[in-house]
Amino acid sequence: MNLPYAEPYKTKMVEYIKPSTVEERKKWIEEANYNLFNLSSEKVFIDLLTDSGTGAMSDKQWAEMMMGDESYAGSQSYLKLKDAVEKITGFPYFLPTHQGRAAENVLFSVMVKEGNIIPGNAHFDTTKGHIEFRKATALDCTIDEAFDTSLHHPFKGNIDIEKLENAFRSNPPDKIPFVVHTITCNTAGGQPVSIENIKKVSQVCKKYHTPLIIDAARFAENAYFIKIREEGYQDWSIKKICRELFSYADGMTMSAKKDGLVNMGGFIALRDEELYKQATVFNIMYEGFLTYGGMNGRDMGALAVGLDEATEFDYLETRIKQVAFLGERLVEHGIPVLQPFGGHAIFLDANKFVPTIPRNEYRAQALAIELYIEGGIRSVEIGTILADRDPFTHQNRYPDLELVRLAIPRRTYSLNHMRYIAAVLKKIYDSREQAKRGYSIVDEAPIMRHFTVKLEKISH
C-alpha cells in the first residue's frame, strides 16, 4: 500500500484568523465597493487572494533574517543571494529588486521601445502593463489547448511555435526585442511549460537573434511538473531541472514572493554583461544600489535560503498535492474547474459555473463576491475586469476565460481549510441557478483597474 503524503515540516508558531457571519460580510463587501482588494484582512477568514508574499517562512529563513547584513554596498546577504541565484539558475549577472514588477520595470526600461511587439504566453498583468505603458504590444502566443478548461494537456502553458514564428515572419526584425516565457503560466491557470517547449522557443529566438526572457515567478513548481509529467526527467532532481530550463534562456525576471518563499523581493538575472550594465542604470534610479536594489539585507538572506527550500522535491510534492486536494474535492462536487489543476491555484470556470450572469456584468467577479459572502473566503477575478480595456478602443476586452482564482499560500493552510473551502463552494454551486445579475463599474483606473475598481450591484 502506498502511504499518504505528509508535509516535510511541522508548525512552530500559529496566527489566529477570525470567523465572521454572512450578515457581517454582506455589509463589509458593500462598504468595500464590491472590490475584494478593499477588504481589511481581519474581515477575511481564508485568504486566497494571492499566493504572492503570503507564504510562511521556515525557521532557517528566520534565522537568516537575524544574520542580515544591512550594509549599503557589498552586503554579505547580497553575496549569499547572488551565489544562490547563480547556483539555481546558472545566470552570472544578477540585480535585486523590491518585487517582480520592479524587475520588469528595470529590464523593460532597457529593452522595450514604443511600437515593439513582445510575444509570450498569456503575459501576467504587470508584465502586460509595463509593456503597454511603453506603447508596445504584448502578443499572446499560448497554445489553443489552454483555452479549453476541461481539456487535459500536461503543459497548457506552452507557447505555440507556429504563432511565434508568425510573429517573427510578419514583423521587421527590430520590432521584437525579446520573447517572454512565463513559467508556470499564471494567467492561463498556473499551467506549466515543458522543457521541450522552452527548447523550441529558444531555437526560434536564436534563429531571429532575439533574447528569451523567462518570467520565473513559479519556476520551481514548473520544474516539479516537468519531473512528474515530461518524458525523460523522472530521475532528475528539481535543481537539475531548474538549471536545464534556465540554460535555454538569456535572462529572467523573478517575483521572489512566490517560489522564493519570502514575503517581499525580486530580481533580474542575465547571461549578457552588456545588458546587465544597461539595466544597472535603471536599477540604481528606480530600486536602489546594485547590492540591495530595494531589499533589506535580511530579506536577501531569507530569499537565498528560500530558493534552496523551494527547489526541494518533498516540499514541492506536498505543496502541489495540497492544491490538487482542493481541486479533487471540487471535481467530486461537479464544480467546473480548470484542469489539469494549476501549481499554485485552483481556477473556477465562471463561464460554466454562472453562465446565467451576463458577461458584461462581470460574472467571475460576481462569483468571487459570493464566495466571500458565503464563507469569508477571499479569491480573485481573472477575467474581464483583470483584462482591462483595449488601450486603443477603450472597450472591454472579453478574454476567452472567465476565472476565479483560489490561490493557495505556501506552507500556510491545512487540508481542513481545503475541506472548508470545498464545502462552501458546493453550497454556492447547489444554488447557482438563482444567480442572474452581476455588477456594473462605477469607477476605474485606465490601467490595471482590478486593484482599485469600484462596483455596484445590479439588482433589477
Give the residue with the Cβ less far from ligand F0G, 69 or 343.
343
Instruction: Between 69 and 191, name the residue whose CB sits nearer to ligand F0G.
Output: 191
Query: Is 130 marked active-site?
Result: no
- What contacts 204, CB < 8 A, 6 or more positions away? 161, 164, 165, 168, 179
Residue 122 to residue 187: CA distance in whole angstroms: 6
6 a catalytic residue: no
Active-site residue, from 5, 72, 398, 451: 72
Q: Which amino acid is at 262?
A: V
Cα 225 to chain centroid, rounded: 16
Nearest to 368 by CA among 422, 408, 428: 428
Shortest spacing between CB 265 and ligand F0G, in angstroms: 8
CA–CA gap between residue 118 and residue 248 (Å, rounded): 18
Check if 286 is active-site. no
Query: Does residue 181 touch ligand F0G according to CB under 6 A?
Result: no
Can you tell me the distance from the alpha carbon of 111 to that of 105, in angstroms, rounded to the nearest whole number?
A: 10
Single-letter amino acid code for the residue at 302: A
> Which of these segments, 35-43, 95-103, 409-417, 435-443, binds ligand F0G (CB under 6 A)?
95-103
**Residue choice 58, 75, 89, 99 for contact with ligand F0G (CB under 6 A):** 99
Among 61, 191, 202, 255, binds ligand F0G (CB under 6 A): 255
Contact between 191 and ligand F0G per CB under 6 A? no
Q: How far apart are CA 396 and CA 360, in angstroms?
A: 8
Name which of 96, 58, 98, 69 is nearest 298 in CA terms: 69
Residue 283, Ramachandran bin (φ over 0: left; ψ between -120 and 50: alpha; else beta) = alpha
Amino acid at 426: K
Task: Give the other-Cβ count within 10 Å of 53's Cβ.
Answer: 16
Q: At 84, is the secondary structure helix, strand, or coil?
A: helix
Sole window of 11-19, 96-104, 165-173, 237-245 interacting with ligand F0G (rule: CB under 6 A) = 96-104
**Interface residue with ligand F0G, options 266, 288, 342, 438 (CB under 6 A):** 266
Q: How far is the CB of 263 from ligand F0G (least distance, A)?
A: 11
Contact call for residue 50 and ligand F0G (CB under 6 A): yes
The reply to whether 429 belongs to the active site is no
CB of 357 or CB of 382, closer to ligand F0G: 382
Between 357 and 384, name the residue whose CB sits nearer to ligand F0G: 384
Rule CB under 6 A: is residue 215 a binding residue for ligand F0G?
Answer: yes
Which part of the chain contacts ligand F0G (CB under 6 A), choosing from 99-107, 159-167, 196-204, 440-448? 99-107
Angular region, 296: left φ>0, alpha ψ -120 to 50, beta rest: beta
Is residue 75 a contact point for ligand F0G (CB under 6 A)? no
**Which residue stretch of 94-102, 168-176, 312-320, 330-338 sits at the interface with ligand F0G (rule: CB under 6 A)?**
94-102
Q: Does 124 bind ligand F0G (CB under 6 A)?
A: yes
Cα–Cα distance, 43 to 28 (Å, whole number): 8
From residue 12 to residue 41, what is the string marking binding to ligand F0G with x (rule CB under 6 A)? ------------------------------
**Residue 353 a catalytic site member:** no
Q: Which is nearer to ligand F0G, 52 or 194 (CB)?
A: 52
Residue nearest to ligand F0G (CB): 100
CA distance 221 to 227: 10
Taking Cα atoms as reference points, which of 300, 450, 316 lies closest to residue 385? 450
Q: How many Å apart are CA 147 and CA 413, to the nearest integer?
A: 29
Using the rule CB under 6 A, give the single segment among 81-89, 120-128, 280-288, 320-328 that binds ligand F0G.
120-128
Among residues 125, 250, 259, 299, the one annotated as catalytic is 125
DSSP code, position 342: P
Phi/psi region, residue 388 (left: phi>0; alpha: psi -120 to 50; beta: rest), is left
Q: Are strands 454-457 and 439-443 parallel, antiparallel or unpaired?
A: antiparallel
258 is an active site residue: yes
Of the candidates 47, 160, 215, 299, the residue annotated as catalytic is 215
Asked if 126 touches ligand F0G (CB under 6 A), the answer is yes
* Residue 235 a catalytic site member: no
Mind giving me the DSSP string for 320-338?
A: HHHHHHHHHHHHHTT--B-
> Which positions are annotated as active-site residues?
72, 124-125, 215, 217, 258, 450
> Interface with ligand F0G by CB under 6 A: which residues?
50, 52, 99-101, 124, 126-127, 182, 186, 215, 217, 255, 257, 266
